[in-house]
Structure 1
Amino acid sequence: MQNVLILSPHTDDAELGAGGTISRLIEEGKNLFWVVFSTAEESLPEHMAPDTLKMEFIEVINHFNIKQSNFKIFDFKVRYLHLKRQEILEELIKIRKDFKPDLVIGPSLKDHHQDHQVIAQEAVRAFKNSASIIGYEIPWNHITFDTQLFIKLDKRHLDRKHEILQKYQSQIKLNRTYFSKDYSYGLATVRGTQCNSQYAEAFEVIRWQF
């Protein structure tokens, strides 16, 4: 699997759910294309510039040395992606034709955030016949989560995950505990214990082809 598509409803979702895995994939030389659907301007602390989260995401992109041609940022309004469902599907189909991903990493179908649900569902519609699809874990959005796939990680992958999460100072200022080092390493330790590894990230397998 060489071409990997990363789907992030908002600027920080993929980093939170799969940041260690993204680090490992880049280290292994995979060809990534990263799509963000909303820069969530309404989720910023007061008096911050509207493009703050967009610029923080670009810091993440630069940290990973991802080329400008390998990411795309849309400006759909946060919490209203359901109103743009068809447009989102058409954009995903366009990406399918142009990028031809082997693997799609996006939100879980069991994620209860309304924007995450839209991206998870439209990803299935767009890629169900052409790629493997896995959903990352965002525990505060789940009631249940199927840990069907574990991707083993080394400490350096978790270190890079923590480093990129620190780019989101706008969210850290809101005291969101899931940006803490304790959270990232703690959950990765639990998932690693489940697959005989020091660290791991867990995924729901939505579709797998080999």
Structure 2
Amino acid sequence: MKNFIKNFINSKTNYKFFIKNFTQLTDLKIASYVAKSMRHSLIINPYENKKKLTGNTIIFSPHPDDEIIGLGGTIIKLIKDRSKLHCIYFSTDRERIKEYKTVSKLLNFSTTQLNLKINNFAINNKNLDLIAKEINLRNPKRIFLPFLFDDHDDHRRVNQFFLELFKKKLILKKDFEVWGYQIYSFFPTNLYVDITKNIKNKIFYLKKYKSQVKKKNFVHLVLSMNAYNSRFINTSKKLYLENFFVVPSKEYFKLCEKYFKTPRNCYYNKNYY
């Protein structure tokens, strides 16, 4: 086996890239099964949501700033449409406590803070009950969460929380939609929100997370991502879009159930399996 690996690596010396660890790519088969096709633009024609987003809305945000990166423009629309918005922050750190409180106050939405440790989101009865309490209290029409395949273990972990909420039958009413949102990764989107008119305001709120935009130029990344998203629709206009994967909650549960069948294949972080 050692000789095989050595010969394999040597045969790839002309490649302009090198994968750190081939064994870490074990979720590709499952991802392929769920997504069905990496060429999703050939089989999925995303449509624009032009309807008012009324009713109660809950956002699962793994860390403060994820909610703005992924759906800041849509949040502005939700507030404008008079949706009652509640954001569940799974974790925070000392730097971001004041920042997320500022953002939520400016945008006028309520919050719950689970205070979980970053890179160690414990799925236990206490945390599940806290989330279920907020969902059952508000009876949302939609729940936003990072899409299943997003390239961050904490983001994926939030989907496993959703799975456990369903498996343990902690959610009383399941007739809501799940809106998988984009943070780091591209995915087979079936719905988009045109945020062109709101992009400046989105960046305004993103900049409130000063501690994070100092570490990485999220303003540049978000502008680029939302601009590139217009690639998936037939237009020559300079648009900014937020892309989503929207399905009924029961269907999203089925995707999560398949994906997390073997958790060690889904994570890099050993705390999560």
TM-score tier, shorter chain, comes to 0.7 to 0.9
Which stretches of structure 1, 4 residues or more, deviate above 4 A after TM superposition?
Answer: none
Alignment of 1:104 with 2:143, yes or no, is yes
Q: What is the TM-score of this pair, normalised by structure 1? A: 0.80
The answer to whether the 8 Å contact 2:145/2:158 transfers is yes
Can you give the 5+ residue segments of structure 2 that lack an aligned partner in the other structure?
1-53, 251-273
Q: Percent identity?
A: 28
Alignment of 1:61 with 2:61, yes or no, is no
Q: Once structures 1 and 2 are overlaid, which stretch shifts more, 127-136 or 102-111? A: 127-136
Residue identity in the other structure for 1:134: W
Q: Distance in 2 between matches of 1:102 and 1:133?
A: 9
In the superposition, relative to structure 1, how do residues 35 and 205 fare at CA in structure 2: closer, same or farther (>3 Å)? same
Residue of structure 1 in register with 2:203 after alignment: 162
Structure 1, residues 81-138: CA drift from partner, whole Å, max 9, x if none? 0x23443322222112101011001111112322211212322444683310011111
The answer to whether the 8 Å contact 1:158/1:184 transfers is no
The 5-angstrom pairing of residues 120-135 of structure 1 reads: 120-124=159-163, 125-126=165-166, 129-135=174-180
Can you give the 5+ residue segments of structure 1 that lack an aligned partner in the other structure?
42-49
Structure 1, residues 47-68: CA drift from partner, whole Å, max 9, x if none? xxx2x201100111122133xx
Indicate which of 184, 187, 190 corresponds to 2:222. Answer: 184
The answer to whether the 8 Å contact 2:174/2:249 transfers is no
- Structure 1 residue 18: deviation in Å? 0.8
The answer to whether the 8 Å contact 2:63/2:89 transfers is yes
In the superposition, relative to structure 1, how do residues 147 and 131 fare at CA in structure 2: closer, same or farther (>3 Å)? same
Indicate which of 84, 107, 132 corresponds to 1:31. Answer: 84
Residue of structure 2 in register with 1:47 after alignment: none
- Structure 1 residue 206: deviation in Å? 4.3
Name the SS for the 1:162 alignment partner. Answer: helix
Structure 1, residues 18-73: CA drift from partner, whole Å, max 9, x if none? 1111111111111111110100x2xxxxxxxx2x201100111122133xxx2111
- Structure 1 residue 150: deviation in Å? 0.9
Residue identity in the other structure for 1:130: D
Structure 1 or 2, whichever has the larger Rg, is: 2
Q: What is the TM-score of this pair, normalised by structure 2? A: 0.63
The answer to whether the 8 Å contact 1:108/1:204 transfers is yes
Alignment of 1:11 with 2:52, yes or no, is no
The answer to whether the 8 Å contact 2:60/2:144 transfers is yes
Residue of structure 2 in register with 1:71 after alignment: 111
The answer to whether the 8 Å contact 2:57/2:141 transfers is yes
Name the SS for the 2:62 alignment partner. Answer: strand
The answer to whether the 8 Å contact 2:59/2:67 transfers is yes
Q: Distance in 2 between matches of 1:53 and 1:29?
A: 27
Name the SS for the 2:115 alignment partner. Answer: coil
The answer to whether the 8 Å contact 1:193/1:199 transfers is no
Name the SS for the 1:74 alignment partner. Answer: strand
- Say what the alpha-carbon RMSD is for the aligned residues: 2.2
The answer to whether the 8 Å contact 2:180/2:245 transfers is yes
Residue of structure 2 in register with 1:151 after alignment: 193
Q: Distance in 2 between matches of 1:88 and 1:18?
A: 24
- Structure 1 residue 193: deviation in Å? 4.5
The answer to whether the 8 Å contact 1:104/1:131 transfers is yes
Name the SS for the 1:10 alignment partner. Answer: coil
Residue of structure 2 in register with 1:94 after alignment: 133
